Every structure is written in C-alpha cells, then in structure tokens.
Amino acid sequence: MVRQQRAAVLALARPAVEAVAPQELPLLEATAAAWTGRVRRGEDELLGFGAEAVVAVVSVGAIAAAEAVVQVMGSAVVDTARDEASSGMRRWLDRRSRRSEAAPDGAAPGATPPGNGESAAQALSREQLREIRRVSHDRARAAGVSAEQAELIADAIVGRLAQ
C-alpha cells in the first residue's frame, strides 16, 4: 500500500477503533503494517502473533474495512475524473471550434484549459455513503469481527467521511 493510501486507511480506521476498542489504539499502526504485509502475501485472514500476544481483532476489522473503502473511493474518483475530463475536453473543443470560426484569419483564438473548474473531490451523496457503509460492514465481518462491531466500524467510517 502506498504511503497516501496507508494514511487514508489509518484516518478511516482510527475513529472506528476509538469507538469500538480504544484499548487497541496503541497497536493500530503496527497492526496496519502487519495486515498490509499479510494481504500482499495473500494471507487475507486474522493476524496471529503467537499465544502470548493479544490479537487486535477490531483493529484488523477496521483496517480491512477502511482499506476496502479506500479502494472503492479510489475507483470512483478515477471514474469521475475520467468522465469529467472527457466532458470537459468536449466542452473545451466545442468552445475552441466556435472561437476558431469566429476569429479573423490568422488570429489565434484564446485557449482555456479543459474542465469546468470544479473540484473532483465533491461531497459524497447519501447513496455513496450507504454503499461505503455496506462495503465497510461486509469487509469487517469477513475479517472476523462480530456483527455488532462491524456495525460500529461501518458507522465510524461513514461518520468520518461525512465530516
């Protein structure tokens, strides 16, 4: 996981761990690092550190859920940016062709960059937040947390995004 993705995952997982299992907070970053390494190796299951160590189950569920949300949001941002760039480019080309037709011979029409000036990072819709909640809940359950803990993790992640 690249540094920005890891930071995003931790930013979403931290409030979930705070809400559900605050005693696991001191181990959150180490758990995230261990979880990421296991996922890279294809070991997508609960972490085991040995019989003498306590497994940070909620942290694993929160990290797995946050990771899934970051992936979903990343895909959505790419799709949105592609759509906006495509429609922005079409508008720009339309404006440019109209200016070219209206410009006197030899005059260079004014060019403006494509796009509509809006930020690609806009507020999430209720539908998007519901989907993010579903994805985070399902992923937390798949990581081994209880249904009640998965509900709390999903609520904390959506709450963090809705801020």
For residue 140, pLDDT over 90 is answered with yes
**Separation of CA 88 from chain center:** 24
- State the amino acid at position 55 in one-letter form: V
Distance CA 16, CA 160 (A): 9
3-state secondary structure (DSSP) of residue 33: helix
For residue 27, pLDDT over 50 is answered with yes
Distance CA 135, CA 125 (A): 15
Per residue in 63-117, pLDDT tens? 999 999 988 887 766 666 666 666 656 666 566 566 555 555 544 444 433 444 3
**Separation of CA 110 from chain center:** 38
Q: What Å distances lie between residue 93 and 23, 106, 107, CA to CA?
A: 57, 19, 17
Which residue from 121, 129, 131 is spatially nearest to 78, judged by alpha carbons? 121
The pLDDT mean for the chain works out to: 74
pTM of the complete model: 0.65
Confidence of residue 18 (pLDDT cuts 50, 70, 90): very high
For residue 130, pLDDT over 70 is answered with yes
Which residue from 4, 32, 11, 8 is spatially nearest to 143, judged by alpha carbons? 32
Which residue from 154, 158, 162, 163 is spatially nearest to 58, judged by alpha carbons? 154
Please state the rounded mean pLDDT for residues 131-139. Answer: 94
